[in-house]
Amino acid sequence: MNDTEDLLSQLRDLQLPPVSALPAPGWWLLGVGIVLLGVFAFFAYRRFQRYGWQRQARSELGVLRAQVGDVPVSQSLSALSKLVRRVALVARSRQSIASLHGEDWLRELDDICGREVFKNSFGKLLENGPYQKNPDVRDEDLHTLMDHVDELISAAAKTQSHGRPHAEHVA
């Protein structure tokens, strides 16, 4: 037993390294990564909300496209006219849009698009079509008008003023 006691007497207490008050670098990187992910998610969500009206308008336009031939043309033109008015409200103020009608309305839509799309073309369908009982409009013309409305949606998204709530206009 003497040998065992000799061996045990030679053991010393463990010497632990000093503990740093700061976390390891990996934890710092993880923390910075989480903060950056949170900032990215915040801005992505804001962008998603900001252009929600555009997704909704395009969805509604898609429904109208699918209904061509199944519903009366006057009903399609009426729904399309309402959609165009709501989209225009995104790009312009309510005061400048609300009172417009006829040629002035079509000119304003062309101004939003940045080129003449409505005034000298199928925009006349938006001006008169919703008020006619059975307008004589071919399905191809209606689809062309819907292509112009899609262009209006894109143009309105580019010209919308920053900081203004938009979802209420298209909803």
Is residue 164 one of the residues assigned to a domain?
yes
pLDDT in tens for each of the 171 residues of the chain?
A: 678 888 888 888 888 888 888 888 899 999 999 999 999 999 999 888 888 888 898 889 899 888 888 888 888 888 898 888 888 888 888 888 777 777 888 888 888 888 888 877 777 777 777 767 777 777 888 888 888 888 888 888 887 654 344 444 444
Residue 71: strand, helix, or coil: strand
Residue 68: strand, helix, or coil: strand
Domain tally, the chain? 1
For the record, the structure tokens of 1 come out as 């037993």
Is residue 24 one of the residues assigned to a domain?
no
Q: What is the pTM of this model?
A: 0.66
Is residue 1 one of the residues assigned to a domain?
no
Is residue 74 one of the residues assigned to a domain?
yes
Long-range residue pairs from 130-135, CB within 8 A, at least 24 positions apart, any chain: 130/74, 130/77, 130/78, 130/81, 132/74, 133/74, 134/72, 134/73, 134/74, 135/73, 135/74, 135/77
| Distance between CA atoms of residues 89 and 82, nearest Å | 11
Q: Provide the domain limits for residue 164.
A: 52-170
Is residue 33 one of the residues assigned to a domain?
no
